[in-house]
Structure 1
Amino acid sequence: MLRVAVVGSGPSGVYTAQALLRQPGIRVHVLDRLPAPYGLVRYGVAPDHEKIKSLQNSLRAVLEDERVTFVGNVPVGGADGVGPARLAELYHAVVYCVGAAADRPLSVPGEDLPGSYSATRFVSWYSAHPDIAADDFALEARSAVVIGVGNVAVDVARILARGADELRATDVPRHALTALAGSRVREVCVAGRRGPSQARFTTKELRELGALPGARMLVDPAELALDPAYAGVPGAAPLPAAVRRNLDVLRAWSRPAAPPGPAPERRIALRFFLRPVELLERGGRVAGVRFARTAPDGSGGVRDTGVYEDVEAQLVLRAVGYRGVPLPGLPFDPARGTVPHRAGRVLRDGVPSAGEYVAGWIKRGPTGVIGSNRSCAKETVDSLIEDAPLLARRGAASDPLAVLRGWGLRPVEWDGWLSIERAEAALGRSLGRGPVKIHDWPGLLAAARGGSR
């Protein structure tokens, strides 16, 4: 019997476990720092995206397999966690699926001012991640700027502009719903340094912005016209269908027209060819963003034009990408933000390290969509299975959970997660809603053990 630990219960970790289950004679422990499974599907998907969130059902089927044990509330690495060397004592092999936990910084003056946050922190706040305090976002700003033109940027702009009543039917936590109900945000600007044809949002996400009740979309036709793809340069290669659809949506929004009915409560501006160079300060807080106007450089990039524009904002959210962080005890490539590997085998000083593997973003960087993790996991598991005869000769604990408890940890197993689910359903019923997420560590751990704080 080969005992394998998978560190991380998000899509990459669960797909790795699923690929392992296709082989006979393997038992899998899926470890997670949090007492709740599903990773970014639970804590990174907007509450109003029910279709994507339903992916939890397929992940759940894997975690409920009798050959899989979910082991939550077990930190790996760090001062309070179990290091890779100790994990290697418990399992024949360990696959690290720890994602890319850090946001890319803007690296501009003023980025650390109060009122400036990573978009991921905002997403974690309205997704009830227990590491984020309930009072992190009061939403007293009148104007917000979201820097970035990917799906995360569109998500946070949509949540800022969506009415709280429309989120009441979701599992959004009480503190976020209350803050959104009292939000003073009326202007949201989403800005990217390149043109609309290079934006990374999907057409579905884009159209959802335009469908928000009480919100008006604003797109400057002059900014669209700067993009050679939008302008239809003669002889240029045909655009991908997804880009054409995005441009069609933006084109429709750029046509000036007075919307029927009452004046919109909120306005969402999509801006292009703006590169942030400084966050402006007033009274010790962020007050706006200074952008450099850019233009196409003829080689697929952009150049500064020497023109600057200041956009008012009391809230700035950066959504310019993710980056992996070192896990103490594992090698790390700081330039790529990944663990060095060969076909998923962890490399130490260029040599494959017996029993250590990676999959997901910590392996390949923050690229692709959720489904991309399947092929990534398969490659890693293929390597592990190829190594199985050697791995079987390594030592492994007969009862790793007993050892973890002996080390002072208090793992939350699947029954504990089911207790959390029941507690969240009960909380929702008490509020006249469906299940509502528990947002704090004490509440989650008390629920996991079937009690209350």
Structure 2
Amino acid sequence: MTTLRLAIVGAGPAGIYAADILLKAERAFNVSIDLFEQLPAPYGLVRYGVAPDHPRIKGVITALRDVLDRGDIRIFGNVEFGRDITLADLKKHYHAVVFATGAIKDADLAIPGIDADGSYGAADFVSWFDGHPDVPRTWPLEAESVAVIGNGNVALDISRMLAKHADDLLPTEIPANVYEGLKASPVTDVHVFGRRGPAQVKFTPLELRELGELNDVDMVVYDEDFDYDAASLDAIANNKQVKVIDRILQQWRTRPSANNAGGEASRRLHLHFWAAPVEVKTDDEGKVSALVYERTRPDGEGGVVRTGEMREVPIQSIYRAVGYFGSPLADVPFDERHGVIPNHEGQVLRADSNERVPGVYATGWIKRGPVGLIGHTKSDAMETVRHIINDQGSWWQPVDPSEAAIPALLAERGVRWTDLEGWHRLDQHEMSLGEPEGRARVKVVPRDEMVSISRAE
């Protein structure tokens, strides 16, 4: 029986789900799958994109671990596509490749001053507090007043991490350098800005409710933002999620801290709706000094129109959380406008002609853009896998599809790759670091240290 040798680039949920679905699918051939991951550890944004105080979401790792631990998928960590292994290499040793590289860059926010000193992307900050090995170990937490632009879950994640007291993060897997950085933060006020109203936000009720439960942090909302139009009232009446969000916000309006009236906490988290960012002002040294925003109002159909009313909030740093954006891959078609690999249901297309690229597939955020929750990745992978199975006639014809070829190639190039056994070793090491402190784990941050522990060097 024919054996499909499949390479999957990216060992986050998208890549692991695709491997699992293909192995369980009805097909007339055997399957041998190799996962390639540029980081020494698997799980992608579940490990490096979810705030450490969200263990419920990180529970997804248990399901992903179960898939890898079956032993029918090989993993090559610490291998960078385009440098350590190329598309030409994959064509020599596999019948097809699936790219599941996600979207890890910040989308742009095109307003004057956004590149000033003190302006940051949410993705970079998330990578720092999640202990990503490829970002600096320190973060400039020097501002007393901070702005966060965006009304999605990522905006709430970073707002919560900025406002939360560092000691309240100690039970989590937060790395020591992150704890020390947050502990020294002088922040007193975090302002979150969204261009639409409370009934049009993109975050989930769970994320919102958690903000109101923070220790020694007052929630500040403003009565002027709750003059609902018919479209908003309709959304509240007919959408359960919007109804819960409205109930939470209405409860906050009754607190002493509402409208900045003065609560008792040492920190405040302000939610500003109907606020479209216009400009980031700077001081004489080029550092962030204020955010100028324009008040918007509902257009009656769930959208907004500008009012011309400008307001200014003094701040010393600003974070944009307006979405993620995909990154191009060597020798792979890329849509620069949308930040995705051009494709039809996961079948990669040439950027200039929309012709199929045989043997090349995509799944996850690099396929459809950074929208949807982790669960959406499964249906995404099913669609891509269906085409891989049906496209057998157009698979690549590799020169050497043997499983021994890849370890030999990486060894010849001096790549210090990590495997599943190595991940187990690192996993156990991190858990042992957390055990004396009653924590689930303490992440190892430096890449060299992660690799050395994984390889038992």
User: After TM superposition, is the score higher than 0.5?
Assistant: yes
**Aligned partners of 1:306 and 1:247: how far apart in 2?**
27
Amino acid at match of 1:405: A
Corresponding residue SS for 1:222: helix
TM-superposition CA deviations, 1:411-451 (whole Å, max 9, x none)? 11112112222332343356674421111212212222224
TM-superposition CA deviations, 1:18-60 (whole Å, max 9, x none)? 1111146101111100000000000011111111111111101
Amino acid at match of 2:454: A
> What is the root-mean-square deviation of aligned Cα atoms in Å?
2.0
After TM superposition, give the deviation of residue 389 of structure 1 in Å: 4.6
After TM superposition, give the deviation of residue 73 of structure 1 in Å: 0.6
**Aligned partners of 1:394 and 1:139: how far apart in 2?**
51
Amino acid at match of 2:241: A
Does 2:79 correspond to 1:74? yes
Unaligned runs of 5+ in 2: none
Equivalent in the alignment of 2:363: 359
Corresponding residue SS for 1:357: strand
Does 2:408 correspond to 1:402? yes
Amino-acid identity (%):
41
> Which deviates more, 384-393 or 271-280?
384-393
Equivalent in the alignment of 1:438: 444
Q: Indicate if the aligned counterparts of 2:13 and 2:44 stay in contact, CA closer than 8 A.
A: yes
In structure 2, relative to structure 1, the CA distance for the partners of 1:121 and 1:228 (3 Å cut) is farther
Amino acid at match of 2:65: R
After TM superposition, give the deviation of residue 200 of structure 1 in Å: 0.3
Amino acid at match of 1:435: R
Equivalent in the alignment of 2:90: 87
Equivalent in the alignment of 1:104: 107
After TM superposition, give the deviation of residue 126 of structure 1 in Å: 0.6
> Which deviates more, 389-398 or 364-373?
389-398
Q: Indicate if the aligned counterparts of 1:92 and 1:395 stay in contact, CA closer than 8 A.
A: no
How does 1:48-447 map onto structure 2 within 5 Å?
Answer: 48-77=53-82, 80-135=83-138, 137-230=139-232, 232=233, 238-257=237-256, 263-282=264-283, 283-348=285-350, 349-391=353-395, 393-398=397-402, 399=404, 400-429=406-435, 433-447=439-453
The correspondence for 2:24, drawn from 5, 22, 30, is 22
Amino acid at match of 1:278: E
**Aligned partners of 1:237 and 1:184: how far apart in 2?**
38
**Aligned partners of 2:392 and 2:222: how far apart in 1?**
58
* Runs of 4+ residues deviating >6 angstroms: none
TM-superposition CA deviations, 1:232-264 (whole Å, max 9, x none)? 37xx894311011111111121235369x9821
**Aligned partners of 2:448 and 2:58: how far apart in 1?**
25
Q: Indicate if the aligned counterparts of 2:345 and 2:384 stay in contact, CA closer than 8 A.
A: yes
Corresponding residue SS for 2:238: coil
After TM superposition, give the deviation of residue 392 of structure 1 in Å: 7.3
**Aligned partners of 1:391 and 1:162: how far apart in 2?**
51
| TM-score under structure 2 length normalisation | 0.92
Q: Indicate if the aligned counterparts of 1:229 and 1:239 stay in contact, CA closer than 8 A.
A: no
Corresponding residue SS for 1:245: helix
Unaligned runs of 5+ in 1: none
Corresponding residue SS for 2:430: helix
TM-superposition CA deviations, 1:190-243 (whole Å, max 9, x none)? 11011111110100110000011111111111112155444x37xx89431101
**Aligned partners of 2:416 and 2:239: how far apart in 1?**
51
Equivalent in the alignment of 1:7: 9
Q: Indicate if the aligned counterparts of 2:278 and 2:294 stay in contact, CA closer than 8 A.
A: yes
**Aligned partners of 1:294 and 1:193: how far apart in 2?**
7
> Which deviates more, 337-346 or 378-387?
337-346
